[in-house]
Amino acid sequence: MSTVIEHIETLLVDLPTIRPHKLSMTTMACQTMVIVRMRHSDGIEGIGEGTTIGGLAYGPESPESIKRNIDIYLAPLLVGQSSSNIHQLRSRLNRHARGNMIAKSALETALLDAQGKRLGLSVAELLGGARQEHLPVLWTLASGDTAKDIDEAQLRLEQRRHCDFKLKIGANSLDQDVGHVAAIKQALGDRASVRVDVNQAWDESTAVRGIQALQDAGIELIEQPIPAREHAGLIRLANRFNVPMLADEAVQDARDGLDLVSGGFSGAFALKIAKSGGIHGVLELAHVAQAAGVGLYGGTLLEGTIGTAASLHAWATLPEMTWGTEMFGPLLLKDDIVIKSLNYTEFGVTLPQGPGLGITLDEEKLAYYSRQ
């Protein structure tokens, strides 16, 4: 008799951040995660996480909508179904529910975690095996204060925790943002790579001026300078400047990747399991990028440990990523809801070991931070 999914529970978990985290569209002082607990008829529980940035400030899914749509629409599609055929369950979700990529990613993570525990394999092993056990991780400097950001970067370098840094810009005037970034790059010099994320805040003409100034300042990568749907503009910018463009919101899945590549885009794609509907979807996009010679970058929606671990298992199966990863989400949080936190060391993070995700919930912390 095959194992079936018996019950799916979702919890809203609110964790405070170590400092305000400033983006072009919002400032965060707390991160809300949707934690999925999926119980199976063989007694195994799989866990997953669905997380976004700043409520609805970033995209069409909020923590509350993720929870509600799983509870009302998605979970009933899975309960009573065979646990092991994950491709079939993904197809079932996609056939009956449009969009909701973060919710689907959380459910797929829980399925993979349970299957790994069932077979005694890590999620990376389920996907064919890890090519790397330690992945580089950058740090986002997002206080908005130039002197504070320089001090923070220098501390991270001394601790050997991060040697690549990203700055969130776009909320201030162009001159203000460029001056802020250039000052940080000048202070760090060749000791660190500095990149920027504009979070779609510029129009194309503003981007032309801004990118030229950032390129002159020695910035190494420009993430999503213009709105996501302006594929043609992003391709023009990628071909106009030497500094590479990183497509993020513009590239959700393999089809988006194919459209950009077909149009002549060169640069890099930011991979995120959440925007691609889960690990299998994001690996399909990664394979399109690899075939086209487009660089890879392991992106985050500032997930906690569960979502970060799921991403790491996916990134570990890929060849070395040209632009590394930004899987620092757990480091931005004051506390955690797992027994053993991820190991950040030597400018990166170690792939968690053990069956499934290799992550165990701390039931007391989970109860404490869960929204009542």
Q: What six digits make up the tokens of 250?
A: 């513009």
Helix ranges, 217-253 (H): 231-240
Helix ranges, the chain (H): 63-69, 75-78, 86-96, 101-119, 123-126, 146-158, 174-188, 204-216, 231-240, 254-262, 279-292, 305-316, 363-369
**3-class DSSP state of 300:** coil
Instruction: Based on the residue annotation, tell me whether 364 is a catalytic residue of this protein.
Output: no
Q: Are 127 and 59 spatial neighbours (Cβ–Cβ below 8 Å)?
A: no
**Alpha carbons 107 and 36: distance in angstroms, whole number:** 7
Tally Cβ neighbours within 10 Å of residue 291: 11
Q: Kindly tell me the sign of the dihedral angle through the C-alpha atoms of 355, 358, 362, 365.
A: negative
- One-letter amino acid at 282 equals V
Instruction: Based on the residue annotation, tell me whether 326 is a catalytic residue of this protein.
Output: yes
Q: Are 303 and 329 spatial neighbours (Cβ–Cβ below 8 Å)?
A: yes
Tally Cβ neighbours within 10 Å of residue 95: 9
**Alpha carbons 34 and 9: distance in angstroms, whole number:** 10
User: Which member of 104, 168, 185, 272 is catalytic?
Assistant: 168
Q: Are 326 and 166 spatial neighbours (Cβ–Cβ below 8 Å)?
A: yes
Q: Are 244 and 238 spatial neighbours (Cβ–Cβ below 8 Å)?
A: yes
Question: Which residue shows structure tokens 């092991």?
Answer: 84
Give the angle subtended at the CA of 302 by the CAs of 296 and 303, to the nearest 5°. 100
User: Which member of 49, 223, 303, 326 is catalytic?
Assistant: 326
Cα distance between the two ends of the chain: 37
Active site residues: 168, 326
